[in-house]
Chains A and B, each alone.
Chain A
Amino acid sequence: MADEEELILSDLPDDELVLQMHDDLYDGLKDEIIEAVEILLSRNWTPYDILTKALVEGMRIVGIDFRDGILFVPEVLLAANAMKGGMGLLKPLLVETGAPRLGKMVIGTVKGDIHDIGKNLVSMMMEGAGFEVTDLGINNPVENYLDALEAEQPDILGMSALLTTTMPYMKVVIDTLIEKGMREDYIVLVGGAPLNEEFGKAIGADAYCRDAAVAVETAKELIARKHNQVAAS
C-alpha cells in the first residue's frame, strides 16, 4: 500500500487551509498552526482575520467537544498550546494593525489555590476575542486584585477557583469591593469546576461562566449591556 500523501499546507486554497487549521488545532499540532499562520500572512490576510476565523473558531470547536465529553483536558491543553503558537506570531501584528478592542480584563486564581488551566484558557480565549487581559496568575489575596484594578482600570474582573475550600474566597474579594464602593465599577465573572450559577449569584458575581467560550460570550454581552446603559443615561 502506498504511503499516505503528505499534506502541503501552502498548496491549499484559503478556505481549505482555514478548515485544515481547525483540524490541526483540534489535534494540537503547534508547528502546523504556526506554518499556516505564516502562509495566511503571506497571502495578505489581516492578523485579526487569521485570529478570529482560523484560531478562535478552531478553539471554539475544541471547546464544544470538551463540553460534550468528546475531548478531555490533555487534548484541550495541546490545542491551546497550538493556538498559543499562532497567537505568538499574531500578537505584535495585532498591536501594529490596531485590531478592535472590546474591553479590558483582570483575571486571577484566588488565594490558596494554584490551579490555573481553566483560567489560562479563559485568558487566551478572551485575548483572541479582542479583550486586553492582565493575568495575575495563581494564589491571589484580595490586595492583588485591588492593586490590579487600580492600575489597569479594567471593565471586567475574573476570578477562578478549582477547590471547594478556596471558592468562598471569591466572596471575600467581592465583599471588599462593595465595602470600598467599587463593586459597580466592574463586571465580575467567576468560574471553576466546583462552581455553579447558584454560587455565582450567592456571592454577588455578575455571572458564573462554565467554560472559556461561555466566558467570552458573557463578557461580550455584559460589556454591550453596560455600554447601552451608559448611552441611555
Chain B
Amino acid sequence: MRSVHEKMQDSDARVLLLACGALAKEILTLLEINNWNHMELRCLPAQLHLTPEKIPAAVEEVVLTSKGRYDEIFVVYADCGTGGALQSLCEKLGVRMVPGPHCYSFFDGNEAFLKAQETEFTSFFLTDFLVRQFDAFVWRPMGLDRHPELRDVLFGNYTALVYLAQTDSPELDELAQAAAKRLGLAYSRRFTGYGDLATELSVLA
C-alpha cells in the first residue's frame, strides 16, 4: 500500500480527497483495492476533532489553495461536530462532502446508524482508528490519564461501548474490549466494513 506522502506526489490525479487524518488508512485501502489512481489523498490532522470549530477554516484553506489543480475536490469529512458549518462552507466553495453526522455514522451507513440511535444513544462509538488511538484521542484528551476519578463524570451517562469495525481484526477487538473495560462500559462489536465511505468514493471513480 502506498503512503499518504506517496499519494500526494501523484501528478496525474484528477480528484483531490481532502480528508480527516482519522480516515487515511481506510481511504488508502479503498484506493488500493479499487485501483482508483486518479484520486489523490491529502489529510488534515485528526486532532482537529478535539476542536471541531477549527475544521471548516482548515478545510477552506486547502480547498482555496488547491482549486483549479483538480477536476474535483471531495471533502472526506462528515459534519463532525461543526453543527452544519462544514456543510455550509462546502456549499459556498462548491465542493461535495460525505453526508452524515460523524465517521462512525457513515461507516455504519448513515441510515442504519440513525435508526440504531433510537436505542443506542447511550453508546460510545469507536472505529478502527479510535481503537488504535484510544489513548491519544479519548483517554488523554479527556484527562483520564491525569484524573481517572473523572471517568464517571465524563462517561457515567453511557451504558455501552460499541466498536464499529472496518476490518476483521482480533487484535483490535481485544483492544476495544479493553477500552470498554477502562471506561466501565458494556462491550459490543459490529462489523461495518467501509459503509457509506466506499459508496461515496465510488461515485468519484
Contacts and interface: CB of A to CB of B under 8 A. Distances in A.
Given A114-B157, A115-B157, A199-B83, A165 B147 contact: no
Interface string B2-17: 0000000000000000
Contact of A72 (B81, B102, B122, B143): B143
A195 B84 CA distance: 9
B157 A164 contact: no
A193 B150 CA distance: 20
A195 B85 CA distance: 9
Contacts of B102: 164
Contacts of A194: 52, 79, 81-84
Interface in B137-164: 141-144, 146-147, 150, 153-154, 157-158
B101 interface: yes
B133 interface: no
Contacts of A175: none
Contacts of B158: 114
B121 interface: yes
B114 interface: yes
A139 B157 CA distance: 10
A71 to B, nearest CB: 11
A74 B147 CA distance: 8
Binding site secondary structure of chain A: loop
B110 to A, nearest CB: 10
Interface string A182-225: 00000000000111100100000000000000000000000000
A194 B82 CA distance: 5
A195 B79 CA distance: 12
A76 to B, nearest CB: 10
B117 interface: yes
B181 to A, nearest CB: 20
A193 B141 CA distance: 16
Given A72-B143, A77-B153, A165 B117 contact: yes
A81 B153 CA distance: 10
Interface string B80-102: 01111100000000000000011
A138 B142 contact: no
Contact of B157 (A116, A195, A196): A116
B83 A78 contact: no
A154 B44 CA distance: 46
Interface in B107-131: 114, 117-118, 121-122
26 contacts: A72-B143, A73-B143, A73-B154, A74-B142, A74-B144, A74-B146, A74-B150, A77-B147, A77-B150, A77-B153, A78-B150, A112-B118, A112-B121, A114-B122, A114-B157, A114-B158, A163-B101, A164-B79, A164-B101, A164-B102, A165-B101, A194-B83, A194-B84, A195-B83, A196-B83, A199-B84
